[in-house]
Each structure stands twice: as C-alpha cells, then as structure tokens.
Chain A
Amino acid sequence: MSIELFRIDDRLIHGQVVVGWGQPLEIAFIVLVDDAVAASDWEQDLYRMGVPAEMEICFDTVESAAVKLADYLADERPGILLTGDIATMRRLADASGRVETVNVGGLHHRPGRIERLRYIFLTPEEEQELRALAQGGIAVTAQDVPSAEPIALEPLLASRGER
C-alpha cells in the first residue's frame, strides 16, 4: 500500500517525520489528519513550511480523511498519514475501516501520563484506546525512528520507561 506509515505523533510534522522517516522511505506525500489544523489556514501554512518543496502535504479532518483514504491508499507514491493523538487515529480507523497498522511514534510527557518509553507517555485512558485499536485487528507498535526495533503493544504497555 502507498501509505507506508500510519503514525501517531503529538509533534505532527517535525524532523523525525520529514527527515528520519521521510528520506529512507522516499515519502512523497504526508496526510495530516487533525480537525483543528484542517480548519486553520495559519496552521496549515506553518506545517507546509516544515516539508520540502517536493513533498506534498494534504490536510484533512477525520471525516474527510475517512472518505479519501481509499484514494490515498491507491496512490502509487509512498506516503505517511499522521495524527496528533490516539483518539484521532481511532476515530479514523473506525470511520474508514482501512487502517491495518499503527505506529506510535511520539507522545510526550503531560500531567497524568506514565512513561512507557522515553518517547511515549500514556494515560490509562490512552492505553485503553490503544488496546481498542488492537482488538479491532490493527497491529499497534511503538517505534520512533526507522532504525529502531518496533515494540509490540503488550511489551509497550508493560514497559516502565527503562528503554
């Protein structure tokens, strides 16, 4: 499929995505799924500035992404689909029925979150959201950069930030 990565990352478009994943996967387009960003020209300009000129960026709400996901998947070019939180990815998965894998790439410290990996902090509610994704048949793994080993969901949730 042409969406090489369905990624949850609270920084959305940043160096790790554009350079760390973008270059080795030869990513040609990024689909940023975020209702607030999709409603703001200023936010879109900000994120557009963060990608190289040759990389296309598409802004979608969950609703519009669910409708267009089949087209994105049929695109011959490799792409990345990004959400900034687990709930958004879950809404997209539920609405589209087309999400098969999810990469948890970066969820940083906030009050109420517990450190699982140095780049993943989760609340109990977020852990339930991830379990719900997995119970829906979606392969959920944690991996910040391509050179790292993906970590499956259960080891991730059992981890205490020691790696």
Chain B
Amino acid sequence: MSERPAVVAAHGDLARAFLEAVTLITGRGDRLVAISNRDRDAGGVHAALRQAVIETNAQVIFTDLPAGSCTMAARRVQREFPHVDIVAGVSLPLLLDFVLNNAEPPPASEHLAARAREHLLVWEGTRVD
C-alpha cells in the first residue's frame, strides 16, 4: 500500500487550507505537507520545497498556479530530483483522489489530473440582457 506523502505548495494560506479540508473530509491530511510562498523570495520557496521533498521522499508536488513562484520552485526541485512529478492547478477533488488512493504502484499523476478535470463542472445560469 502506497502511503508516500505529497507536497502541496501554494500562495498564502492556500496549501494549509487544502490540507485542513482534506483532513476534515478524509482524515488523511497526514499524506500532505503544506508549503507557503509567503515572505519567501524565489530561493526561499525553492529551499522550503526541496527540504520538504527530501524529508518526505515525496514523488508528487502539487502547486496552485502554473505561472506562480511555487511552480517555478517545483521545476527547480524536479531538475535535482527527476522522479518527482509536478501537478499545477491543484484542486480539492485532485487532493482527495490522491490521499484516498493506496494503489501500488501509485497512480500516474496524469491520471490524477485527468480525474480532477472531470470534477470541473459548470451549470450555466440564465442571463437576462
């Protein structure tokens, strides 16, 4: 059973909030480590992410914004640790899928991302011109 945690890196308190929501819903917040870019320059974000990957042996880093400093830092970490996947545009359904999946080997990150896309739904309202 795969229990290897993932790192969630995001702006402000977002990663911690994701972790809290995942814990509330599943009790499995222990499978995630939250990193914030708050008060950190690019080097600081990279150092924090790198440390988290080393300490947890994580294979996946989830980031919030594809153009954001967390994703940039994650790419630098991936350069040093090529086995690490990066999934940008993290969402709650994506993290829930991750923490509840105990398959061995763990599901490919692309599979997780595809599932998350399926959870992005729109029910259009009626507009009055």
Chain A residues near B (Cβ < 8 Å): 10-15, 18-19, 42, 46-47, 49-52, 84, 106-110, 118
Contact = CB atoms under 8 A, between A and B. Distances in A.
B70 to A, nearest CB: 9
A11 B41 contact: yes
B41 A10 contact: yes
B75 interface: yes
A107 B66 contact: no
Contacts of B45: 11
A10 B41 CA distance: 6
Residue of B39, B42, B66 ringed by the most chain A CB atoms within 10 A:
B42
Contact of B67 (A10, A52, A110): A52
Residue of B41, B42, B44 ringed by the most chain A CB atoms within 10 A:
B41
A108 B41 CA distance: 5
Contact of B39 (A18, A84, A108): A108
Given A10-B42, A108-B40, A108-B41, A50 B79 contact: no
A76 B78 CA distance: 38
A108 B44 contact: yes
Contacts, number: 52
Interface of B: 11, 37, 39-42, 44-45, 65-69, 71-72, 75-76, 79
Nearest to A107: B41
Contacts of A50: 66-68, 71-72
A34 B78 CA distance: 23
28 contacts: A10-B41, A10-B42, A11-B37, A11-B41, A11-B42, A11-B45, A11-B69, A11-B72, A13-B67, A14-B42, A15-B11, A15-B65, A15-B69, A19-B65, A19-B67, A46-B72, A46-B76, A47-B72, A49-B75, A50-B66, A50-B68, A50-B71, A50-B72, A84-B42, A109-B39, A109-B44, A110-B44, A118-B39
